[in-house]
Structure 1
Amino acid sequence: MQEHEVSGYGIALCSSGIYQALFGAPAAQLKAQRGLTNRESVRDAMNSEELAFSTVTEVVARQCIAANDDQGNSPCYNTCKRAGQDVRGVLVKKLE
């Protein structure tokens, strides 16, 4: 995401936006719910379905960021969160 000027906390912010959209909680809250320390990754505590949903959402987000030519932490965060909402919407429809 460096080519889109995502820096510092931007990667964590984007991941948290995806988690908020997919699972209803940002990374910090998911860590607390799962008994993880701040140094541990939420991904390490995901089941196979959660990991698959996250990975698909990351792919969609990367494609959207590239297509929109988003630049900077905030625009990329918004695109990641929107991608998470879109993927969640498709999954909910398919699983009903």
Structure 2
Amino acid sequence: MKTAAALHILVKTEAEAKALKDKIEKGADFATLAKKHSMCPSKKQGGDLGEFRKGAMVKPFDQAVFTKDSDEKSVIGPVKTRFGYHLIRVLYTN
């Protein structure tokens, strides 16, 4: 079974997610922004979701994590789910 580890930031609007993504791309620290802006309880850990299995997250989030080729520097999103808009940094998939 495939597994992954990721950080994420969950916000209410696509515009907010895009603004945060722009800040990250300009050098802002992902974990710091997660702690300040995310609505998810994982914000206390800088958005760290730990390791999870394929199928454990809501479908759009799961698809974004397991179908994208990414490195630790790239940010996926905004990804819309029923919870809001996510920015995702995949740490690894295996």
TM-score normalised according to structure 1 size: 0.30
Higher strand share: 2
TM-score normalised according to structure 2 size: 0.30
Higher helix share: 1
